[in-house]
Amino acid sequence: MRTILFGNSYGGYLANLCAKIAPWSIDFILDNSSFVNLFGNIFRLIGFGKEIDFTRYHGTYDDTLFKNIFLYLSDKTYWNNNKFSKNYFSNARKIIREPLNKEHLIIQSLYPNPKYILYHSIFDERSPFKNKENFVHILKELNFKVE
């Protein structure tokens, strides 16, 4: 039986993350417009942004329910930026969550790996096309099957 993972945006990100963690168990990845690294301020999407400035790095907000009230919403997270905390969001914890990590892709290429079918708009403002283009370039360089 074949294992096919597909998704767009976050679903595609999770599909790529599964391929990173267990490449031998997946046959195909179909990804439409996922992000492949925690670039810019995307860290806010794991709930970490509220610790820095919840008005700038919120998950979402609502300014329509009440006349003079803005509701800033964030995901709950265990991560923080306190280097002495067991929940410190270190660089190691960041890069393990990034499909676009050349060192990890080199290791992944040593195992049976899935065929990648990737779509991404050059006009995507949330997840830059250049990041996905770099991801595809590295996959091809390491002899992954990519369309």
pLDDT in tens, the chain (147 residues): 899 999 998 899 999 999 999 999 999 999 999 989 877 666 666 666 666 666 666 667 777 888 888 877 777 777 778 899 998 888 898 889 899 999 999 999 999 989 999 999 999 887 889 999 999 999 999 999 998
Q: How far apart are CA 61 and CA 74, in angstroms?
A: 9
Residues in contact with 84: Cβ distance below 8 Å, sequence separation at least 6, in sequence order: none
Radius of gyration of the chain measured on its C-alpha atoms: 17
Q: Minimal CA–CA distance to 100: which of 87, 118, 78?
A: 118
| pTM listed for this prediction | 0.80
Q: How many residues does the chain have?
A: 147
- What pLDDT, on a 0 to 100 scale, did the predictor assign at position 44? 60
What pLDDT is stored for residue 48 in this prediction?
A: 65
Cα separation, 114 vs 95, whole angstroms: 21
- With beta carbons less than 8 A apart as the criterion, state whether 117 and 12 touch: no
Q: What is the pLDDT of residue 80?
A: 79
Where exactly are the structural domains of the chain? 1-37+98-146, 38-97
What is the C-alpha separation between 77 and 145, in angstroms, rounded?
A: 35
Rounded Cα distance between 55 and 113, Å, is 41
CATH architecture of 1-37+98-146: 3-Layer(aba) Sandwich (3.40)
Which residues does 4 contact at the CB level (< 8 Å), separation at least 6?
Answer: 26, 27, 28, 29, 30
- Residue 100: phi, psi to the nearest 5? -85, 80
How far apart (Å, rounded) are the C-alpha atoms in residues 49 and 28?
33
